Structure 1
Amino acid sequence: MNVSFVKQLFKRATQASVVPRAVSARRALGAAVIAAWAFALAPAYAQDQSPDTDDTSVSMPDAFGPMSPDEAKDLPNVDLTSQIVFQVLAAEVALQRDQPAPAYQTYLALARDTHDPRMAQRATEIALAAQSPSDALTAAQLWQQYAPSSERASQLDASLLVLSGKPEDAEALLGRELAKVPADNRGSAILALQVLLSRGPNHAGGQKVLQDLLKDDMNRPEAQLAMARQQLVADDAAGARKSLEQALKLKPDYLPAALMLSQMGPEARAEGIASVEKFVQQNPKSRDGRLALAQLYLASDRLDDAQKQFEVMHSNNSSDLTPLMALALIKIQQRKFSDAQSFLTQYASQAQKTPGADPSQAYLYLAQISVEQNDTNGALSWLDKIPPGSQQYLPAQITRAQLLAKQGKVDDARKLLAGLQSPDPHDQALIARTDASILFDAKRYPEAESRLADAVKDFPDDPDLTYDYAMAAEKNGHYDLMETQLRKLIRTQPDNPQAYNALGYSLADRNQRLPEADKLIEKASSLAPNDAFIMDSVGWVKYRMGDTTDAIKILRHAYDLQPNAEIGAHLGEVLWKNGDQEQARAAWREARKLEPDNDTLIKTLKRFQVNDL
């Protein structure tokens, strides 16, 4: 049984995140700074300075928050001369003119002349904003030199040393920071420390530093997990597995270690599951143990076993929100909508009584169930319960717009979308995609392409927008533009099967460059061998190249996996061309039942002058 739907939604519903995500090189500096703050759990800037009321004073731009009293002790006794004021103002003007280099050099020179850590701090901020790690490191080391009491300077200096491939030079700084962390927060600090070390280019050096720093902490499961993560970064899979096994010996229900182990191959997955199963048998009332086991089962596509664990959790505590949502999602996957509605209404009721919980998530799923059941009014009623400010408000309004469009109120739907505001670029891109999709479904193809052209200018790195733009261009016969966009997507996402498939299918459908189309679709199939629509493309290109026998077999298999009007139209055409007109008619009849207005089906029937299905 395919459980990817449940796995994805359950992960989102429970906000679980146990495996560190990779960080792009472009964002590495900012990510490292964030990691440094997470690592230092007792920051030194807890108290604001009182503002200087002297009109002649210059307020120094503060890169990372106000100074602490300890940091203020490090300030030098230097007169604020007119020359210093002039240099500061000149540097800030240069920044406003988008000239960070002279501004950085000015502040760095001021720091060296005055030994004022605020000057070095400002130079560090400028270098960070300019994505210049070597310059940021130079300034941060000056900042630390002139402000030895500043924890912030030490943290940033260590971060930049790691990012510069010098983790061994950061070891002493990191050790001092780790020693300051209270014992009850040490596990989290250890994991944050590993995240920081993993972002540097010297992975082996980072592993050695981590091993040195944690030599007295190896009885902690977090330390073993941190070592395993760093060992994976350093391509030491065998070492990582041993560390994870040790973490589970220390804490058998340690979900992050169990999940990570389960992803290291079938044998390791079985080992991780067996460890948690044993723990649950010995501790049948353990809520965390059963949750860990259920998630492991989901990761292994064992939906029925996961369901049993959630049912026991629900039986043990009927007010626990996690099993309520998990069971609801499983029932949605099984299309047992009545059971799903029962769990979701229980979830919403309990969430209203639970501080910090939001029933809106349940309302959104209830609305989506109503949509599945063609109950538009019911869906709108559930959406009305989701207030502005909820995390689900934007998805709710997008769903509302889609429902309006489905009712033929396309302009009303677009007006609703135009009124949605979000500072998140991903949300803005989603709104644009939804707007274009509504135009596309209304067969307003030129408008859809124009909308997507504007969106791609605003969000050039969004792969979904790029793909949608290509498909709109293809629909309008702008094949060169379509190919340009899909080639761009293939370059930026070489493992994206849909990009290869879309380009290959378009070529095959137009009966052009068939050997190239065949290679593109073959690549798509190797990346997603069980995708029914890619199978349809494989069958279609074989038909175009004259192999009707294999084409029929592949298209039948694709249709069995995913009954779809377009696949049915293709199957019917190949059967007709192969001389089996009765089976072709049968395939077309089934396809018309699924989607009578499908463009491909309508054009196919018209081309073969079939009017008597």
Structure 2
Amino acid sequence: MHALALHLARGVQLARPGTSAPASNPSHQRSTLRPVAVAALALTLSVLWPIQAKAQDAPALPDPPVANSEMDAELFYQLLLGEMHLRNEEPGPAYSLVLDAARKTQREELYRRAVEIALQGRAGNAALSAARDWATAHPRSDEPHRYVLQILLALNRPAEITQTLRTLIQLAPPERRADVIGAIPQTLARTGDKAAALQAARAALQPFLADPATASAAWTCLGRMQLDQQNNADALASAKQAMTADSQAVMPAVLGLELMERDQPGAEALVRSFLERNGREAQRPLHLGFIRALIDQRQYGPARQEIATVIQQDPKLADAWLLQGTLQFQERLYDAAQASLEQYLVLARELPAEAARRGQTQAFLQLAQMAEQRKDYAAANAWLDRIEDGQDILSTQLRRAAMLARQGKVGEARALLRQQPERSPDDSRRKLLAEAQLLRDQGMHQAASEVYAEAVKRFPDDADLVYEQAMAAEKAGRPDEMERLLRELIARKPDYHHAYNALGYSLADRNVRLPEAKALIQQALRATPNDPFILDSLGWVEFRMGNLPEALRILQDAYRRRPDAEIAAHLGEVHWVKGQREDALKVWREGLLLNPDNETLLSTLRRLNVKP
């Protein structure tokens, strides 16, 4: 063992160079200094003198040659004093002493220790200074640059990260650079100034956008950050650039799929072209995601064709049968849906338990709901009884509560929901939302409004709950209360575009303050230019203002983007008023097929005394 380490192990105090040890009670010295000495020993041995301990039963070997440490007594004392300051909750002097030692020795371990001390003391600028010194001393080490990046983000200074990002990419081996680039969006996701982060990332990526080996990853990175800022059109342009750079790269297509889910025009064509070029069978996970997106957008015809292709290619692929059952369920083809879902359950037995769990729960819930539609409540409960996973218990009980409400047992349904245990705040939120929804389904809008008010009280920062509370107030016949809640929500969260749309639509539907209604809807549309439901609102206000050709154009666009019963109600009425009766009847029939219980569509048909 090194002589200095041996002194420490014996509890001997080292005096500072140029002084003598204080003459005091030795036992007192040991009890005061031994913990510090042990801490210093752990630090110095782990940093500067790694020693392999010999096993007691190992054969005796000659002692290796003594290797003198780079540390002299003065440097050792400096480190020891720094640790003592830290132990006495004096991080400032500790940081200064350790950072000075790091600069003298250029040891990475000491730079790291200085950064850690500053971070423990919540001195962000000091930590940044030490990390930058470390990066300067060791420019080929990626660790100090990672510290610099994380500290700058914690200090909300994303504009300064450009060079650090570029250096981290350059330090990665060529075969890993695309992975490093791909991690950038998640790394920067929590920064407050997203525009500055995007600008810095774009500047950092410039050389990699031009490099064929990294261009696709770099463009995808920018597209993902643009998507995070809801710049959907820019994100699609970046995805196209990425796919042009590498037509076989899957991540640009995944980005396109996410844009497709946000109704971005051109995204579906991007994903479809990738699948056609690279083969649906070879890109099965992406293909299944594409089908799910088609179903979510109610593009049932194209979805049906895609599923048929999958099942023909691989009839034992369980997820294909689950998708087919889900599609048939949404199309209200209940007998066919039941057969598909039962086939899925047979095939799912061969899947790993964790992989099958979510799909099985989905299948059981849909089968239960179909039995409920037939008013076969015993069969519905039997399907729910087959859901065994504890994580799905709440979903099961929510479905049971909905069945009780459907049978007129609203009190029992609410009691069942209220008695469910809550493992997380999200469980509490789900319970309240489910209770409010079953009350709305029963036309008990005042009671639903009260439940939403309770939810808002428990989750005051949840904008979605305030929005739902406002919608319930309108249904309860209190439009002034709805307007007050929505205006408060807009004042508190100006970028919450749903509030602008809802308020504008409500004014248009009541045929009051139409110019204001149009301005509110246009404000919402600026946030999401292709949202079919906001387009529906705009078309409806144009109709109320007497602009029938413009109303028809907008509503046809909305219905093309999202076939929906409520949009069908409005589009049909415009056709009807224009004298295009057959067109109106055709659209209304389609709307009834989509949702025969839609309140807006049914009230429109009653008001116009039409039976399509």
Q: In 2, Cα distance between the equivalents of 1:473 and 1:278?
A: 51
Q: In 1, Cα distance between the equivalents of 2:265 and 2:472?
A: 42
Q: In 1, Cα distance between the equivalents of 2:477 and 2:418?
A: 28
Q: In 2, Cα distance between the equivalents of 1:236 and 1:443?
A: 42
Work out whether 1:484 is the aligned partner of 2:475. Answer: no
Structure 2 unaligned segments of length 5 or more: list them: 1-31, 37-42, 51-75, 100-109, 227-233, 578-583
Q: Secondary structure at the match of 2:349?
A: helix
CA contact (8 A) 1:398 1:417 kept: yes
Q: 2:448 aligns to what?
A: 448
Cα gap change, 1:361/1:269 in structure 2, threshold over 3 Å: closer, same or farther?
Answer: closer
Q: 1:471 aligns to what?
A: 471
Q: Secondary structure at the match of 2:390?
A: coil
- What amino acid maps onto 2:80 in structure 1? V
- What amino acid maps onto 2:161 in structure 1? P
Q: CA deviation at 1:508?
A: 5.6
Q: CA deviation at 1:465?
A: 0.8
Work out whether 1:377 is the aligned partner of 2:378. Answer: yes
Q: In 1, Cα distance between the equivalents of 2:256 and 2:568?
A: 42
CA contact (8 A) 1:324 1:347 kept: yes
Q: Give identity over the alignment, percent.
A: 26
CA contact (8 A) 1:386 1:393 kept: yes
Q: 2:276 aligns to what?
A: 277
CA contact (8 A) 1:367 1:378 kept: yes
Q: In 2, Cα distance between the equivalents of 1:123 and 1:465?
A: 41
Q: CA deviation at 1:455?
A: 1.8
305, 318, 331: which one pairs with 2:315?
A: 318
165, 180, 185: which one pairs with 2:159?
A: 165
Q: 2:220 aligns to what?
A: 229
Residue deviations 1:167-195 (CA, integer Å, cap 9, x gap): 3442586258634x9x6x77544421464
Cα gap change, 1:144/1:563 in structure 2, threshold over 3 Å: closer, same or farther?
Answer: closer
Q: 1:340 aligns to what?
A: 337
Cα gap change, 1:338/1:424 in structure 2, threshold over 3 Å: closer, same or farther?
Answer: same
Q: CA deviation at 1:336?
A: 2.6
- TM-score computed with the length of structure 1 as normaliser: 0.60
CA contact (8 A) 1:71 1:149 kept: no
CA contact (8 A) 1:261 1:268 kept: yes
180, 192, 214: which one pairs with 2:183?
A: 192
Q: Which segment drifts farther, 110-119 or 456-465?
A: 110-119
CA contact (8 A) 2:507 2:517 kept: yes
Q: Secondary structure at the match of 2:80?
A: coil
Residue deviations 1:54-76 (CA, integer Å, cap 9, x gap): 99869xxxxxxxx9x97797998
CA contact (8 A) 1:228 1:240 kept: yes
Q: In 2, Cα distance between the equivalents of 1:305 and 1:258?
A: 18
- What amino acid maps onto 2:187 in structure 1? L
CA contact (8 A) 1:133 1:160 kept: yes
Q: In 2, Cα distance between the equivalents of 1:57 and 1:411?
A: 65
- What amino acid maps onto 1:288 in structure 2? A
Q: Secondary structure at the match of 1:386?
A: coil
How many residue pairs match? The answer is 489
- What amino acid maps onto 2:317 in structure 1? D
Residue deviations 1:303-330 (CA, integer Å, cap 9, x gap): 5555444434334443323322232233
Q: CA deviation at 1:478?
A: 5.1
- What amino acid maps onto 1:225 in structure 2? S
111, 114, 124: which one pairs with 2:95?
A: 111
- What amino acid maps onto 1:246 in structure 2? A
1:210-249 pair list within 5 angstroms: 210=205, 218-219=212-213, 223-232=214-223, 241-248=240-247
- What amino acid maps onto 2:95 in structure 1? A
CA contact (8 A) 1:473 1:481 kept: yes
CA contact (8 A) 1:121 1:139 kept: no
Q: 1:46 aligns to what?
A: none
1:248-263 pair list within 5 angstroms: 248=247, 252=248, 254-260=249-255
Cα gap change, 1:173/1:468 in structure 2, threshold over 3 Å: closer, same or farther?
Answer: same
CA contact (8 A) 2:364 2:383 kept: yes
Residue deviations 1:86-137 (CA, integer Å, cap 9, x gap): 42xxxxxxxxxxxxxxxxxx6455322455756743643675xxxx976764
Q: Secondary structure at the match of 1:353?
A: coil
CA contact (8 A) 1:370 1:378 kept: yes
Q: Secondary structure at the match of 1:354?
A: coil
Q: 1:516 aligns to what?
A: 516
CA contact (8 A) 1:197 1:206 kept: no
Cα gap change, 1:290/1:514 in structure 2, threshold over 3 Å: closer, same or farther?
Answer: closer
CA contact (8 A) 1:137 1:157 kept: yes
Work out whether 1:156 is the aligned partner of 2:147. Answer: yes
- What amino acid maps onto 2:486 in structure 1? L
Q: 1:412 aligns to what?
A: 412
- What amino acid maps onto 1:247 in structure 2? D
Work out whether 1:429 is the aligned partner of 2:420. Answer: no
CA contact (8 A) 1:521 1:538 kept: no
Q: In 1, Cα distance between the equivalents of 2:529 and 2:166?
A: 48
Cα gap change, 1:159/1:594 in structure 2, threshold over 3 Å: closer, same or farther?
Answer: closer
Q: In 2, Cα distance between the equivalents of 1:596 and 1:111?
A: 67
CA contact (8 A) 1:108 1:119 kept: no
Q: CA deviation at 1:461?
A: 3.5
CA contact (8 A) 1:341 1:366 kept: yes
Q: Secondary structure at the match of 1:319?
A: coil
Q: Secondary structure at the match of 2:348?
A: helix
Q: Which segment drifts farther, 260-269 or 342-351?
A: 260-269
Q: 1:78 aligns to what?
A: 80
Bigger RCO (CA 8 Å, 6+ sep): 1
Residue deviations 1:200-259 (CA, integer Å, cap 9, x gap): 7254553454455799x844xxx34321124545869877634422211xxx3x432235
Q: 1:288 aligns to what?
A: 282
Q: CA deviation at 1:290?
A: 5.1
Cα gap change, 1:197/1:495 in structure 2, threshold over 3 Å: closer, same or farther?
Answer: closer
Q: In 1, Cα distance between the equivalents of 2:124 and 2:389?
A: 41
Structure 1 unaligned segments of length 5 or more: list them: 1-53, 59-66, 88-105, 281-285, 576-582
CA contact (8 A) 2:334 2:370 kept: yes
1:41-120 pair list within 5 angstroms: 77-78=79-80, 84-87=86-89, 107-115=91-99, 120=115
Q: CA deviation at 1:483?
A: 1.7
CA contact (8 A) 2:521 2:534 kept: no
Residue deviations 1:560-596 (CA, integer Å, cap 9, x gap): 976679969x97xx99xxxxxxx9xxx9xx99x9679
CA contact (8 A) 1:158 1:173 kept: no
Q: CA deviation at 1:458?
A: 3.0
Cα gap change, 1:404/1:122 in structure 2, threshold over 3 Å: closer, same or farther?
Answer: farther
Q: 2:368 aligns to what?
A: 367
- What amino acid maps onto 2:434 in structure 1? T
Q: Bigger radius of gyration, 1 or 2?
A: 2
RMSD over aligned CA atoms reads 5.7
Q: 2:350 aligns to what?
A: 353
Q: Which segment drifts farther, 330-339 or 254-263?
A: 254-263
Residue deviations 1:524-544 (CA, integer Å, cap 9, x gap): 68968896898589668966x
Residue deviations 1:360-389 (CA, integer Å, cap 9, x gap): 232223223334444433332222222243
Work out whether 1:124 is the aligned partner of 2:119. Answer: yes
CA contact (8 A) 2:318 2:347 kept: yes
1:380-395 pair list within 5 angstroms: 380-390=381-391, 392-395=392-395
Q: CA deviation at 1:334?
A: 3.4
Residue deviations 1:150-183 (CA, integer Å, cap 9, x gap): 986653333334653233442586258634x9x6
Cα gap change, 1:388/1:326 in structure 2, threshold over 3 Å: closer, same or farther?
Answer: closer
Q: 2:168 aligns to what?
A: 174
- What amino acid maps onto 1:377 in structure 2? A
Q: In 1, Cα distance between the equivalents of 2:116 and 2:140?
A: 14
Q: In 2, Cα distance between the equivalents of 1:341 and 1:486?
A: 42
